[in-house]
Chains A and B, each alone.
Chain A
Amino acid sequence: MVAIELLLPFSFFIALIFIIGLYCVVATFDLIRLIIGLELLIKAVTLLIIVVGYLSKHPSLAQSMVITLIVIEVVVMSIAAGVVLNIYLYNKSLDARNIRNLKG
């Protein structure tokens, strides 16, 4: 069977997770939920890389890329958490609509 035909059933679920994450990022005003949405987007991409590695018979390459992705993900999340906490200390709110100081 052609690899693309095997990829399609996985893409079905990956697309759904991506849609959920994207909607969370677009619709929320809460900064913590924004990071959670971003995290869901990364989960969908991680699964896609693993599936493609499995179907193209290069699982080691896919694994090493996912490990790199996880390292970058954890750094981004930690920095984002620090930024969110600092924003909270300045504005006493996690709502993005209340953060108008940087406007312009």
Chain B
Amino acid sequence: MGLTNILILTAMVALALFTVMTRSLLRAAIGLALTSAVLTVMMFRLGAPLAGVFELSVCAGLIPVIFITVISMTKPMKKEEAKEFAIERWSRFWILPIIVVIAAILLFTAHIKFDAKLPPVHAESDVRDMMWGARQLDMLGQVMVLMAGAYGILVLFKEMKKRW
């Protein structure tokens, strides 16, 4: 599998854990963007550059911006309230790193061969041919989903503007 791949995947798990464990919502959004960026590296290594570019631009770029916009539009908690909330949150989340370590140990005992050599990237038909040839109907579905999304955002934010 290669040491580099193992390091990249370990970094991804660590960043995911940081995203969930951190107290600050802003840090969580940034952690999520970094997780996406590391996933992009893995995608490039596994012969999926176009999907990697999408992941980097949309998931590491656009989605954290949406999160940060939502966070900035909501009022932060007062100091005492935040302190109380942090303690209460810690009581629910302290166990997560332990669960992850236990799960890792359990999975590690399943005789996984981490040193297995990966085959070279297989050059199949072009991804554009695949999208516009074999999956035409799916593309139509995607366009409809995007239009529904745009309409949904329009309605939701219009409603919000009225009440603001």
* Residues in chain A within 8 A of chain B (CB atoms): 1, 5-6, 8-10, 12-13, 15-17, 19-21, 23-24, 27-28, 30, 32-33, 35-37, 39-40, 43, 46-47, 50-51, 53-55, 57-64, 66-68, 70-75, 77-79, 81-86, 88-89, 92, 94
Contacts and interface: CB of A to CB of B under 8 A. Distances in A.
Nearest to B112: A8
Nearest to A42: B59
Given A35-B67, A36-B67, A64 B145 contact: no
A32 B16 contact: no
Secondary structure type dominating chain B contacts: helix
Contact of B103 (A8, A16, A58, A89): A16
A20 B142 contact: no
A68 B130 CA distance: 12
12 contacts: A27-B92, A33-B28, A40-B35, A47-B12, A54-B122, A59-B127, A66-B55, A68-B135, A70-B54, A72-B142, A73-B63, A85-B73
A4 B124 CA distance: 20
B62 interface: yes
Contact of A74 (B13, B62, B96): B62
B72 to A, nearest CB: 11
B124 A59 contact: yes
A-B pairs, top 10 by smallest CB distance, nearest first, are A82-B156, A75-B149, A57-B122, A13-B9, A66-B51, A63-B51, A60-B130, A54-B46, A60-B127, A24-B20
B154 to A, nearest CB: 9
A19 B59 contact: no
Contacts of B148: 75
A94 B77 CA distance: 10
Contact of B117 (A1, A28, A66, A77): A1
A10 B119 CA distance: 14
Contacts of A17: 12-13, 16
Interface in B126-145: 126-127, 129-131, 134-135, 138, 141-142, 145
Interface in B35-54: 35-36, 39, 42-43, 46-48, 50-51, 54
